A and B are shown apart, each in its own frame.
Chain A
Amino acid sequence: DVKVTQSSRYLVKRTGEKVFLECVQDMDHENMFWYRQDPGLGLRLIYFSYDVKMKEKGDIPEGYSVSREKKERFSLILESASTNQTSMYLCASSWALPGFRETQYFGPGTRLLVL
């Protein structure tokens, strides 16, 4: 069974704090993704990575950065948290093989509240 874990289920931070969200997958997937989910807006892609040390911007990268130092770990960083970054953050991973990469496996999500 594919397992994608996220370091926290719930997180409360203050405006201006630096926030790290960690994601780990145990299936040797090449691709990893960070999304945020907001009511009425669905899932929006923030960043993705298709290899170690590689990253690509998604639809809404502003205010975020990412780090992929090891294949199994993909970190999302909020350099200076703001209240509009209060959201549910979802990490996902997938194989890079044709026919498989389209299927993303998601973690349970981290609900972040920025005060």
Chain B
Amino acid sequence: DQQVKQNSPSLSVQEGRISILNCDYTNSMFDYFLWYKKYPAEGPTFLISISSIKDKNEDGRFTVFLNKSAKHLSLHIVPSQPGDSAVYFCAALYSGAGSYQLTFGKGTKLSVIP
């Protein structure tokens, strides 16, 4: 059973516009969420994260929104740039006593068109 879902395998956006990448999760025990960005032939790099006690975290052009009641988070990139073209992975973490579970979604490939 997939606990972290990125239902859009790909997304195309015009340069300068907003990119919105979505992620849904099913396990209410997840308490921390992360976004990673991956270019071809490279390992993923950490982009931005949010704790479950917050509903928004912003870092420059990147903002992550968390809706706990809907078990949904989204990554907004404004304005989108061609260098943002990559695969974006959503990840959810549960780290209770003696337990550590970090689950990744399947990824969304973002293409920013110049």
Give A contacts to B, CB under 8 Å. Answer: 4, 33, 35, 40-45, 48, 50, 56, 59, 90-92, 101-109
Report whether B106 and A40 are in contact in the complex, using a CB–CB cutoff of 8 Å. Answer: yes
Chain A to chain B: the 4 pairs with minimum beta-carbon distance, closest first = A106-B43, A42-B106, A43-B104, A42-B104
Asked if B97 is an interface residue, CB under 8 A from chain A, the answer is: no
For A35, the chain B residues whose CB sits under 8 A away are: 104
A-B contact pairs, 25 of them (CB 8 A): A4-B43, A33-B102, A35-B104, A41-B106, A42-B89, A42-B105, A42-B107, A43-B44, A43-B89, A43-B91, A45-B103, A50-B100, A59-B103, A91-B43, A101-B95, A102-B34, A102-B93, A102-B102, A103-B34, A103-B46, A105-B45, A106-B36, A107-B43, A108-B42, A109-B41
The residue from B45, B49, B106 contacting A106, defined by CB atoms under 8 A apart = B45
For A92, the chain B residues whose CB sits under 8 A away are: 43
For A44, the chain B residues whose CB sits under 8 A away are: 104
Report whether B41 and A45 are in contact in the complex, using a CB–CB cutoff of 8 Å. Answer: no
Q: How far is the CA of A56 from the CA of B102 in the complex (A)?
A: 13
What's the count of A-B pairs with C-beta under 8 Å?
53
The residue from B43, B102, B105, B106 contacting A90, defined by CB atoms under 8 A apart = B43
For B44, the chain A residues whose CB sits under 8 A away are: 43, 90, 106
For B46, the chain A residues whose CB sits under 8 A away are: 103-105
Q: Most A CB atoms within 10 A — which of B43, B100, B105?
A: B43
Asked if B32 is an interface residue, CB under 8 A from chain A, the answer is: yes
For A101, the chain B residues whose CB sits under 8 A away are: 95
Q: How far is the CA of A103 from the CA of B41 in the complex (A)?
A: 20
User: Known interface pairs A56-B100, A103-B34. Does A109 touch B43 (Cβ–Cβ under 8 Å)?
Assistant: yes
Within 8 A of A (CB), among B63-114: 89, 91, 93, 95, 100, 102-107
Report whether B45 and A102 are in contact in the complex, using a CB–CB cutoff of 8 Å. Answer: no
For B100, the chain A residues whose CB sits under 8 A away are: 48, 50, 56
User: Known interface pairs A102-B49, A103-B46, A103-B49. Does A108 touch B106 (Cβ–Cβ under 8 Å)?
Assistant: no
Q: How far is the CA of A108 from the CA of B41 in the complex (A)?
A: 7
Q: How far is the CA of A109 from the CA of B106 in the complex (A)?
A: 17
